């Protein structure tokens, strides 16, 4: 177990190293951030001064070494544009993104599992065909389009749901969340649904395919041959086998959902990290971009660990650390 975690951490560090090098030199090639965010009245002297302040006057490899030195002390640097530590900006906004992503995940499961079950049990009924057709749409139609259509329908036309922002917030354990107020829920509904569509389609397809396979297996026949009631056969004997691929795929997908919530957050002006990243990129706010990427990579690594642990709980044949991770 310890070796397994250690190997994961080493892998993550390698990824971080390669990534930061790319970002540093990439941004250096693209342009000078100061030109982008300094006010137009700023003279040459003033520009130079800002460059010196931010350390941008040094050769890029020196900048990188300084960055590494600070990183070793846990300092990810200050945002060029906001002037505050980059990490604090991320922490401020991350709860919004996390809430959105978790809500999307819950929706995907709560809606996707029953639909997938139905389609798997009655593959030939027209309802099942409709469900599968819809899941196809979830895969193929771009998210921003669905988001816009929903805004047009539910906000503009019908006026049922607000189109932007998080609504009323409540603080729970020091984190501000939307989902505990009615207004917050109304704000959360559309972005969460939009973000969940892809995951939901996956859950539907995985559940259906998995169920059809599992239902023909000898162990399901054996359970039935022993007279085990159908709700128990489906709800536990089959379910536990189904959850293995679902957890695996959703686990991998979930990191992506958080990292790329960008689109959804932009459409619904959801004040999460995704939107912050877009803003940071447009002004080449390097410390913020790098800090965000480091944050995302770390999150992926942690998420993978959680999935592996969940996986080993679901599937007794899997032992942590066995085989290459």
Footprint on this chain of another protein (rule: CB under 8 A)? 216-230, 232, 236-237, 240-241, 244, 314-317
The least CB distance from residue 10 to another protein, in Å, is: 30
What 3-state DSSP class applies to 165?
coil
The least CB distance from residue 213 to another protein, in Å, is: 12
The least CB distance from residue 177 to another protein, in Å, is: 34
Q: Which is nearer to another protein, 17 or 236 (CB)?
A: 236
The least CB distance from residue 73 to another protein, in Å, is: 46
Q: Which is nearer to another protein, 118 or 292 (CB)?
A: 118
Q: Which is nearer to another protein, 143 or 314 (CB)?
A: 314
Q: Tell me, what DSSP letter sits at residue 157?
A: I
Q: Which is nearer to another protein, 91 or 219 (CB)?
A: 219
The least CB distance from residue 233 to another protein, in Å, is: 9
For 233, counting Cβ atoms within 10 Å of its Cβ (0-12 exposed, 13-18 middle, 19+ buried), the class is buried
Q: Which is nearer to another protein, 107 or 239 (CB)?
A: 239
Contacts 24+ apart (CB under 8 A), 117-123: 117/207, 117/208, 117/211, 117/234, 119/204, 119/207, 119/208, 120/207, 120/208, 120/209, 120/210, 120/211, 120/212, 120/215, 121/211, 121/215, 121/234, 123/208, 123/212
Element (H, E) at 172: strand 170-172
Which two structure tokens, joined as six digits, stand for 53? 């302040």
């Amino acid at each position: 177990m310890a070796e397994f975690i250690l190997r994961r951490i080493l892998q993550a560090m390698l990824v971080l190293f390669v990534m930061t090098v790319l970002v540093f030199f990439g941004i250096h090639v693209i342009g000078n951030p100061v030109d982008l965010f300094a006010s137009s009245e700023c003279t040459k002297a003033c520009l130079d001064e800002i460059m010196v302040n931010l350390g941008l006057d040094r050769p890029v490899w020196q900048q990188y070494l300084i960055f590494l030195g600070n990183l070793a002390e846990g300092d990810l640097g200050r945002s060029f544009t906001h002037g505050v530590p980059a990490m604090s900006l991320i922490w401020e906004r991350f709860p919004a993104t996390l809430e959105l992503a978790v809500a999307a995940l819950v929706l995907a499961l709560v809606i996707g599992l029953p639909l997938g079950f139905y389609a798997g049990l009655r593959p030939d009924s027209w309802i099942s065909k409709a469900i599968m057709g819809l899941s196809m749409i979830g895969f193929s139609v771009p998210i921003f389009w669905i988001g816009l259509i929903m805004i047009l329908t539910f906000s503009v036309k019908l006026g049922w749901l607000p189109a932007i922002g998080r609504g009323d917030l409540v603080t729970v354990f020091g984190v501000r969340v939307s989902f505990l107020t009615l207004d917050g829920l109304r704000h959360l509904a559309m972005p969460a649904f939009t973000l969940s569509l892809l995951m939901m389609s996956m859950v539907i397809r995985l559940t259906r395919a998995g169920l059809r396979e599992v239902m023909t297996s000898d162990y399901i026949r054996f359970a039935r041959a022993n007279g085990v009631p159908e709700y128990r056969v489906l709800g536990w004997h089959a379910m536990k086998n189904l959850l293995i691929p679902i957890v695996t795929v959703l686990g991998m997908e979930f990191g992506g959902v958080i990292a790329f919530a960008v689109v959804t957050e932009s459409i619904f002006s959801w004040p999460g990290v995704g939107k912050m990243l877009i803003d940071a990129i447009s002004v080449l706010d390097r410390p913020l971009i790098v800090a965000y990427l480091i944050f995302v990579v770390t999150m992926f690594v942690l998420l993978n660990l959680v999935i592996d642990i969940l996986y080993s709980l679901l599937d007794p044949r899997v032992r942590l650390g066995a085989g290459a991770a």
